[in-house]
Amino acid sequence: MKLWDKGTSVNELIEIFTVGKDREMDLYLAKFDVLGSIAHAKMLQSINLLTANELVELQSELVNIYEVIEKGDFQIEDGVEDVHSQVELMLTRKLGDTGKKIHSGRSRNDQVLLDLKLFTRSEIQSLVMSVCGLFDKLLTKAILNRDHLMPGYTHLQVAMPSSFGLWFSAYAESLVDDMILLQAAFKITNQNPLGSAAGYGSSFPLDRQMTTDLLGFESMNYNVIYAQMGRGKVEKTVAFALSSIAATISKFAYDVCLFMSQNFGFVSLPDELTTGSSIMPHKKNPDVFELVRSHCNKIQALPYQISLITNNLPSGYFRDLQILKEVFLPAFTELYECIAIAGFAIDNMTVNTNVMADERYKYVYSVEDVNKLVMQGVPFRDAYKQVGTQINSGTYEPTREVNHTHAGSVGNLCLDEIAEKMLAIVQVFDFEQIEESYSNLLKRV
């Protein structure tokens, strides 16, 4: 079944190529297609394109389809082009001509736009919870290790005193900024495109504000051409937010791989979280973080994939946009898996609390000793030369004392403040309104 079928056949090779992976990808969108159809049907009844009885029949059957989807029993049949066609076919089989009325005033263009936005909203909600979980694990680890020193590096050279608490909480605060970017992506997503039809509106007196409210959107894309132009733009904007989270996790994963090597020995994982070598019996490889790093680097390429698919398209709909589903829809699951496994490994990570006893790190205190001289009245440049001369002559012996008190330093991690920043951002997301809207749509009448 094709919604555009007018009785002419299409070459089989052309049909296979143009349908592509849509049947597979559209399973991600199925329940959102049903939610959008319920809202659309309610709006059609309000403008007298459906009778009250027809709305009751459509809503009841759409709820039935939704429940089939939730149970995992929904399929797009052979010969059916996409999820929109499948849902309409199921309605028509049950309700006859009433099922055929559901498409009045909309196009597959605004239908898929809506489905993608509803899907993306839902995935962002799950992602917020997932990121918050990782944030909590990093912050907990920072609290537990706030007093355990480690060397800090610049140019991969031993530089200044750091701490495991400072290291863990650095990545926690990085996630805060990532969440700000995700919040912006959510606001762009949370605008209703339904009613833009094929990009030029409809001669029906559609009540777009009604569907906006029914689906829990914050606003709508008012201009119908711009609503269509949002296809690709929304995906790219969200992809940048995903890539920012992925970048944070990838950098952390790189640190762990480096710090687990015998040359560093700063952190370790239990044997059951590492893998071995086929010929070297001593190996305990951090494969989990190497794969996290690789997956996250792959996700960081997503905005550029989307850009290359869409950046030479004029306004209006083009079939090129279909390919976006293949790279965009599965990306959320890939990122969830990276977050989950990284969080599990962090929970089981052990830090080397005695790492600073190694003589290799004695010069890490040189700046501390320079600053002590300055506090005693020695000009900074003279103090710098004095300690430098001791280092060059081999007579330098560090005091091994660290006294940092300013905000965000080793001695003042500001963990409560970082936690408050994250909480303030998460509270802005209005997921409760969306869930309430869906609950109302799915009530049986």
120 and 55 part of one domain: no
Alpha-carbon gap, residue 198 to 202, rounded angstroms: 9
Alpha-carbon gap, residue 127 to 125, rounded angstroms: 5
Contact of 260 with 355, CB cutoff 8 Å: no
Alpha-carbon gap, residue 256 to 263, rounded angstroms: 13
Alpha-carbon gap, residue 357 to 147, rounded angstroms: 14
Does some domain include residue 419?
Answer: yes
182 and 63 part of one domain: no
Chain centroid offset of residue 369 CA: 44
**CA torsion sign, 305 to 306 to 307 to 308?**
positive
pTM value?
0.92
> In the prediction, which pLDDT does 6 show?
57
* CB-based burial label for 58 (10 Å; 0-12, 13-18, 19+): buried
Domain boundary among 54, 82, 103: 103
Return the CATH number at 45: 1.10.275.10
Chain centroid offset of residue 51 CA: 42
328 and 234 part of one domain: yes
Alpha-carbon gap, residue 230 to 221, rounded angstroms: 9
290 and 352 part of one domain: yes
408 and 368 part of one domain: yes
Helix residue spans in 266-349 (DSSP H) = 287-300, 302-310, 324-328, 331-347
326 and 420 part of one domain: yes
Does some domain include residue 118?
Answer: yes
Pairing between strand 350-351 and 267-268? Answer: antiparallel
For 207-234, b where at least 16 C-beta lie within 10 A, e where not — what string? bbebbbebbbbeebbeebeebbbbbbeb
> In the prediction, which pLDDT does 154 show?
95
Question: Degrees (nearest 5) of the Cα angle 45, 51, 55?
Answer: 65
Alpha-carbon gap, residue 129 to 107, rounded angstroms: 34
Pairing between strand 149-154 and 157-163? Answer: antiparallel
188 and 325 part of one domain: yes
For the chain, what is the domain count? 3
> In the prediction, which pLDDT does 322 show?
87
Q: What is the DSSP letter of 160?
A: E
> In the prediction, which pLDDT does 4 show?
44
Helix residue spans in 145-266 (DSSP H) = 164-189, 208-214, 224-260
Does some domain include residue 342?
Answer: yes
Beta bridge partners of 186: none
Residue ranges making up the domain that contains 54: 12-103
CA atoms within 13 A on the CB side of 201: 10
Q: Which two tokens stand for residue 258?
A: 């480096």
> Which of 201, 232, 238 has the alpha carbon at shortest distance from 313?
232
403 and 365 part of one domain: yes
> In the prediction, which pLDDT does 224 show?
96
22 and 92 part of one domain: yes
* Residue linked to tokens 């610049």: 154
Does some domain include residue 235?
Answer: yes
345 and 379 part of one domain: no
Does some domain include residue 158?
Answer: no
Does some domain include residue 385?
Answer: yes
Per-residue pLDDT for the chain (445 aa), expressed as one digit of tens each? 555 455 667 767 766 676 667 777 889 999 999 999 999 999 999 999 999 999 999 999 999 999 999 999 999 998 888 999 999 999 999 999 999 999 999 999 999 999 999 999 999 999 999 999 999 999 999 999 999 999 999 999 999 999 999 999 999 999 999 999 999 999 999 999 999 999 999 999 999 999 999 999 999 999 999 999 999 999 999 999 999 999 999 999 999 999 999 999 999 999 888 887 678 878 888 899 999 999 999 999 999 999 999 988 888 888 788 889 999 999 999 999 999 999 999 999 999 999 999 999 999 999 999 999 999 999 999 999 999 999 999 999 998 889 888 999 999 999 999 999 999 999 999 899 999 999 999 998 7
Q: Which amino acid is at 144?
A: L
> Which of 333, 113, 371, 374 has the alpha carbon at shortest distance from 232?
113
Does some domain include residue 362?
Answer: yes
368 and 390 part of one domain: yes
Does some domain include residue 442?
Answer: no
**CA torsion sign, 237 to 239 to 245 to 246?**
negative
409 and 329 part of one domain: no
